[in-house]
Chains A and B, each alone.
Chain A
Amino acid sequence: MAYIKIDKEKCKGCLLCMTNCPKGLIIQDEEINIKGVRAVSFKNNSECTGCAFCALMCPDVCIEVYK
Chain B
Amino acid sequence: MKITNKTSSTNQTSKALRKVFSLPASMRDVAMHYCSGCGHGIIHRLICEVIDELEIREKTIGVAPVGCAVLAYDYWNFDTTEASHGRPPAVATGIKRILPERIVFTYQGDGDLAAIGTAEIIHTANRGENITVIFVNNAVYGMTGGQMAPTTILGQKTETTPWGRDAQRDGFPLKISEMLALLSGVVYVERTAVNNAKNVLLTKKAIKKAFLNQIENKGFSLVEILSPCPTYWRMSPVEAVKWIETEMVKYYPLGVIKG
Contact = CB atoms under 8 A, between A and B. Distances in A.
A3 B31 CA distance: 23
A13 B35 CA distance: 10
A5 B10 contact: yes
B14 interface: yes
Given A44-B11, A64-B19, A65-B21, A8 B6 contact: yes
B55 to A, nearest CB: 20
B237 A3 contact: no
Contacts of B23: 61
Contacts of B7: 7-9
Interface residues of B, number: 41
Nearest to B241: A16
B11 A6 contact: no
Interface stretch (B38-46, B80-88, B93-101, B113-121): B38-46
B217 interface: no
A63 B31 CA distance: 13
A33 B17 contact: no
Contacts of B5: 9, 33-34
Interface residues of A, number: 42
Contacts of B236: 15
Interface in A21-59: 29-34, 37, 41-42, 44, 50-53, 55-59
A10 B31 contact: yes
Contact of B9 (A5, A12, A52, A58): A5
B4 A37 contact: no
B138 to A, nearest CB: 12
Interface stretch (B126-134, B153-161, B195-203): B195-203
B17 A63 contact: no
B20 A50 contact: yes
Interface of B: 1-11, 14, 17-23, 27, 31-32, 34-42, 45, 196-197, 200-201, 230, 236-238, 241
28 contacts: A3-B10, A3-B17, A7-B7, A8-B4, A8-B7, A12-B37, A13-B36, A14-B230, A14-B237, A14-B238, A15-B37, A31-B4, A32-B1, A37-B36, A42-B9, A44-B9, A52-B20, A57-B42, A57-B196, A59-B32, A59-B39, A60-B31, A64-B19, A64-B21, A66-B11, A66-B18, A67-B17, A67-B18
Q: Which 8 A-B pairs rank lowest in CB-CB distance, beginning with the nearest?
A: A59-B41, A14-B37, A12-B36, A65-B21, A3-B11, A14-B237, A53-B197, A66-B17
Given A13-B36, A14-B230, A56-B42, 11 more contacts: A7-B8, A8-B4, A10-B31, A19-B238, A31-B2, A42-B11, A56-B201, A59-B36, A60-B31, A61-B41, A65-B21
Interface of A: 1-3, 5-10, 12-16, 19-20, 29-34, 37, 41-42, 44, 50-53, 55-61, 63-67
